[in-house]
Amino acid sequence: MWELSRNGRAEAFLTTTVSRMRGFPFFWVKREWLWYQVNWLDGRRDDPDEDYGPGWRVVAELEQGRFEHDDVDGPVLDAKLVGTAERDDLWQRYGPP
């Protein structure tokens, strides 16, 4: 769970989950991929989206403390990992992507 903000003001929370998949051409090889969803504080929820290797674009952005999103107010939001106590409450509210 990540808090997304712009100019120091929280705008959304990003819920994430990691799933395993098997894919062509090596169906016996398990791979992981990340599902994520932006949950805006005004009640809007974006459709879930995915990120997977080898590039892991979204994961790399989050590790750098940012999240790029197509938004009218600008494409880049600051990203901060949410603490455990707050995360559990937010997970109950927003659930998985």
Highest-confidence range of 4-8, 18-22, 73-77, by mean pLDDT?
4-8
Query: Domain span at residue 29?
Result: 2-94
Q: What CA–CA distance (Å, rounded) separates 68 from 73?
A: 12
| Length reported for the chain | 97
pLDDT for the residue 29: 63
SS3 8: coil
The pTM for the full model equals: 0.81
pLDDT for the residue 56: 83
- Model pLDDT for residues 33-67, shown as the tens digit of each residue: 889 999 999 999 999 998 877 778 898 999 999 99
* pLDDT tier at 23, thresholds 50, 70, 90: low
Query: How many domains does the chain fold into?
Result: 1
